[in-house]
């Protein structure tokens, strides 16, 4: 597996990043699982990922009530220095008004909790899980800079920020003479290409690498769903559509629409012509996109990990890549410049 620099930093990261949202999941815990996730399988996945040359493992304090961090910490014990350990903070950790967000109060407690669960004295990449409208960005960036100066954090990044929020954050760090972000985690796939217009150019200009998540479009690009057919029982989309959380249902409905399923058909057609799986073709397309540093894969089984890594090694013929570019091209590919009436 290849390694490359993460943004404008000296940190080398693998072209695949192991996402661990499933780690530590118990039966009935959340909409994406109906049966839980065995820790023994998680350890096998981590072992295989590291043996294949991967070095970035990504988790978050909110994943399964902190269990993901605990499982990851145990899985990397004894080889901590060979892993780029990444985690995230923002989401609620309790019922109180200061138990969430990007304030100094919450981030300080959140980091201590993550270090304790991970069983380590530092995090290699500490990320803001999302933007916090209620906290001045100057406070957030000063707090993160303090973590870096203390040695508890090596690098900082963000997830799901807009282009304007990235710029505002980098400017706040620069004004204070502090530590800037070196990475962004955005959603990116053949079904979600909106970051190409503004976010990826801003990342290049401001020195952020990208760890892109959901490269298979929630499984839609893996060929699990068909036009005119309801999601099969036990599939991720069926569980999301049955979720009590409106956000989960909306996300599933947004993915399972006619245009996306047409793109998935083109992916399956390309895969058949190459003797590959649809998932491999979708992953190969993402990995070679300009501005992508690493692709986050979140396997539930060891076999899924191996399939994902094989896809990341697949070379798409130029004509296949061009065809997928065309059929998945979003309606707007240029930044909004304020000159279009009625938009």
Instruction: Enumerate the active-site residues.
Output: 63
d(CA 14, CA 16): 5
Residue with tokens 């963000």: 158
Q: Coil, strand or helix: which one is 187?
A: strand
Going by DSSP bridges, is the β-strand pair 183-185/12-14 parallel, antiparallel, or unpaired?
unpaired
Instruction: Find the DSSP H helices in 275-339.
Output: 278-287, 302-312, 318-328
In the DSSP assignment, the letter for residue 8 is: S
**Long-range CB contact pairs, 304-310, < 8 A, 24+:** 305/18, 305/45, 305/48, 305/49, 306/48, 307/277, 307/279, 307/280, 308/16, 308/279, 308/283, 309/1, 309/16, 309/49, 309/52, 309/54, 310/280
- From residue 71, give the alpha-carbon distance in Å to each of 51, 66, 83, 306, 310: 18, 9, 14, 20, 25
For residues 12-45, one letter each, b for 16 or more C-beta atoms within 10 angstroms of the residue's C-beta and e for the rest, the string is ebbbbbbbbbbbbbeeeebbbbbeebeeebbbeb
């Amino acid at each position: 597996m290849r390694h490359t620099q993460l943004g404008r930093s000296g940190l080398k990261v693998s072209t695949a990043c192991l996402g661990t949202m499933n780690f530590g999941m118990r039966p009935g815990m959340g909409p994406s699982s109906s049966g839980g996730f065995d820790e023994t399988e998680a350890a096998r996945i981590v072992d295989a990922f590291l043996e294949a040359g991967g070095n970035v493992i990504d988790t978050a304090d909110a994943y399964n009530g902190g269990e993901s961090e605990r499982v990851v910490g145990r899985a990397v014990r004894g080889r901590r220095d060979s892993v780029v350990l990444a985690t995230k903070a923002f989401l609620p950790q309790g019922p109180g008004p200061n138990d969430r967000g990007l304030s100094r109060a919450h981030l300080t407690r959140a980091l201590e909790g993550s270090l304790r669960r991970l069983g380590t004295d530092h995090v290699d990449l500490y990320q803001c899980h999302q933007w916090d409208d209620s906290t001045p960005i100057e406070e957030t960036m000063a707090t993160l800079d303090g973590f870096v100066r203390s040695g508890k954090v090596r690098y900082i990044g963000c997830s799901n920020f807009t282009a304007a929020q990235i710029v505002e954050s980098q400017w706040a760090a620069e004004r204070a003479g502090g530590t800037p972000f070196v990475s962004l985690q955005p959603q990116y796939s053949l079904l979600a290409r909106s970051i190409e217009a503004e976010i990826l150019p801003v990342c290049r200009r401001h020195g952020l690498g990208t760890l892109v998540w959901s490269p298979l479009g929630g499984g839609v690009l893996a060929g699990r769903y068909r036009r005119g057919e309801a999601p099969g029982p036990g599939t991720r989309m069926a569980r999301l559509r049955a979720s009590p959380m409106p956000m989960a249902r909306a996300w599933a409905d947004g993915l399972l629409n006619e245009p996306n399923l047409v793109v998935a058909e083109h992916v399956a057609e390309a895969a058949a012509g190459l003797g590959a799986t649809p998932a491999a073709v979708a992953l190969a397309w993402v990995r070679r996109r300009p501005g992508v540093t690493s692709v986050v894969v979140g396997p539930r089984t060891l076999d899924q990990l191996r399939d994902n890594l094989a896809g990341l090694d697949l070379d798409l013929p130029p004509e296949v890549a061009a065809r997928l570019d065309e059929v998945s091209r979003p309606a707007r590919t240029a930044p909004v410049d304020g000159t279009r009436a009625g938009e």
